[in-house]
Structure 1
């Protein structure tokens, strides 16, 4: 398994709802077994001995049985609350955001604490003997079980508070933006990865097509491993797909030069690609952007009509553009020793901005407040952007937003505010001034 696919596997495993509860349950079972076996072998301080359970076997059975039955019942309640929260999030913010709830460590730890306490109580309960000649009461294990039960009460109170916060739309928007910000933070600064001026081509220009090994969304593409293979074979790979694209089974997704390396290239491609049923944010910046846009679009739908949520989405999109200023997006080319070994499509700045604002602008045409905020966001991003091409993309969207907003409202005050915000975008500093502003950040 390549490094990129291993990273994707770990991300999927961490996002699974069962991992942390399963680990906590195993730890609780081992803890109960250790405490039972060490009964009488541990000398506790005198101030702790007063808190240790000192009842008989019948009392120990009642206590552990009550803990087990209560925690498993509460665990079922927490699971029901989680399902209700997921349903609410799916209806109001989109089904693609469910992954953010299932991978929430707080939900997993809360469920894990209850299930682990249940398993602990069962293991400790099986060690209690009532026979007079072999009576055994694991007093230390029962005491720890009581402590875990009180901790579960606190966990339940915290969990209710946490669920109430997690379905807050502002918090959901912030969490999605955090994923996007972490992906942007991994991008190099402009000038850190300069391309060589000369890229000699592979001498043998004959090529052969490469077909998809299976169908699904391309979640991970291990560029480094594919480029290393191409260097070893003195070949060149040109792909037509990028992470986030849907790959159709047996479709042509690229070509390899020379043609004689086709069979080995197919094997390398199978190892270097990870396909799945859904998109992933690991290598797909547009996916996180579209998650934010989906929240905004649902907020602007006639059934919800919540422009404030759409404005919150625009704020986060603007923050993303500001974080992107001064950074370089991958161009899809991977070189080895100055020679191009892998070339594939990549998300460029214009495409990312299109994904951010096209659909929101179209949905918010009749919402002057949202359109005004969109123009303000574009003005802030243009003020920090040092690339003339990037500034051009922002000004193009500003012109589209201005025209759409003026056509969607007849309110004189709104039209004046729209014109003023559009002027702010046009007044953004030139490339040199924007570069100085970026350095000051």
Structure 2
């Protein structure tokens, strides 16, 4: 429960509530100290710099204009975001809407405009013939300038977000980071795991998608209690009420042991965890499969997705993935997680593209080039798997009924032996 609450709080803080709200309140909070400074160091009636000199009527008009423009632009910005991202979700992939609330440019734009509105109203409230807060008014004008520049940046960002290649590259960058982190964890892990000691089953108390498995907490729990823990689910899996989540080597629920294991496995109503490799892969596959569908018929978008998926496979193919047994600081095996094997990762990425590309010779040829590139950097274990995918690709090409020259071209592209 603690991990789930922590995850929900993190999602809220990183979404369209936490970041914009924090920026908005931060800008608004600047009004009070600046007004106080203006009240203590009054320059009314004294020579002031030309950029501070302003009459009371002009000041109120300026502040009112800034406030009304800021709140109007904020409404327009939200309207633009919703319309553009809805169109993008319909034309590219519906699950891209989950990225909408985490986009930093959108968040900062909303926060700056909202903060400028509240700040200008606060300064307008105390501005009159007897009190002109020159410094506060000058900052309101500066915030208006910042807001204009931020809106320009926002329009640029939105225009890029509906560019398919740019969106594919952004998702791929996130996927590469996730996969590389999984590869990096391989160092120092592994060992013998005595599954016969597992006695107690930890069951789910609700249905939902596995979003995060807190491996660090589970390893610490195992080390502290001298336990072995085997997690039976992986991020992205849908778990039913009462389904086994894990098995542990102790039969007693001392001090909430079973509850501690449950807390380390977060279940949410929907997919989309930041560290969920499968979710990121599925987004790229969804874009590619939609592009290969007869209704869209955009092969070059699918080609871009295949290239970016291949880029995410570089380290796993060349260095391998970590073992599924993780050890504590003393090197004692404590935790077994299902994890992604290299075979599963290749199957997850290559098979759907190959199956959807049947009859599309251009895409099949490109997949041949992708496999050939991966084979050139692959380790011994990965090469055997890539050869199997190469054979499946040749069989798919044959089942499409190509002419002989197309088959010869694909065979030349695959520079490794497919066994055909």
- The alignment's TM-score, normalised by the length of structure 1, stands at 0.86
Match of 1:158 in 2: 153
Alignment equivalent of 2:324, drawn from 327, 332, 350: 332
- Secondary structure of the equivalent of 1:426? coil
Shift of 1:302: 1.5
Partner SS, residue 205 of structure 2: coil
- CA deviation map 1:224-259 (0-9, x unaligned): 322332333333222321222111112223322233
Structure 2: any 5+ residue segments left out of the alignment?
none
Output the CA distance in 1 between the equivalents of 2:145 and 2:31.
17
How many residues align? The count is 415
Deviation at 1:123, TM superposition (A): 0.6
Among candidates 173, 177, 184, match of residue 178 of structure 1: 173
Give the corresponding residue for 1:395: 387
Aligned residue number for residue 438 of structure 1: none
60-69 or 72-81: which moved more? Answer: 60-69
Post-superposition CA distance 1:361-394 (Å, at most 9, x none): 11111211111111111111111011x2211111
State yes or no: 1:319 paired with 2:314. no
Match of 2:364 in 1: 371
Deviations 1:64-117 (A, max 9, x none): 111111111111111000001220121122222222232111111122221111
Shift of the 191–37 alpha-carbon distance from structure 1 to 2, 3 Å rule, reads closer
Stretches of structure 1 that go unaligned for 5 or more consecutive residues are 428-441
Match of 2:21 in 1: 22
Q: Does 1:219 align with 2:218?
A: no
| C-alpha separation in 1, matches of 2:365 and 2:13 | 40
Q: How does 1:338-357 map to 2 (within 5 A)?
A: 338-357=331-350
Question: 1:39 maps to what in 2?
Answer: 38
Secondary structure (helix, strand or coil) at the match of 2:319 reads: coil
Counterpart contact for 2:189–2:327, Cα < 8 Å: no
Within a 5 Å distance, the mapping from 1:1-150 to structure 2 comes to: 8=7, 12-13=11-12, 15-39=14-38, 49-56=49-56, 58-130=57-129, 135-150=130-145
For the 8 Å contact 2:365–2:413, the answer to whether it is kept is yes
Which residues of 2 match residues 280-295 of structure 1 at below 5 A? 280-295=272-287
1:180 & 1:42 partners in 2: Cα distance? 55
> Which secondary structure does the structure 2 equivalent of 1:250 belong to?
coil
CA deviation after TM superposition for structure 1 residue 34, in Å = 1.9
Find the counterpart in structure 1 of residue 397 from structure 2.
Answer: 405
**Could you tell me how far 1:262 is from its partner in structure 2?**
8.1
422, 426, 433: which one aligns with 2:417: 426
Alpha-carbon deviation of 1:325?
3.5
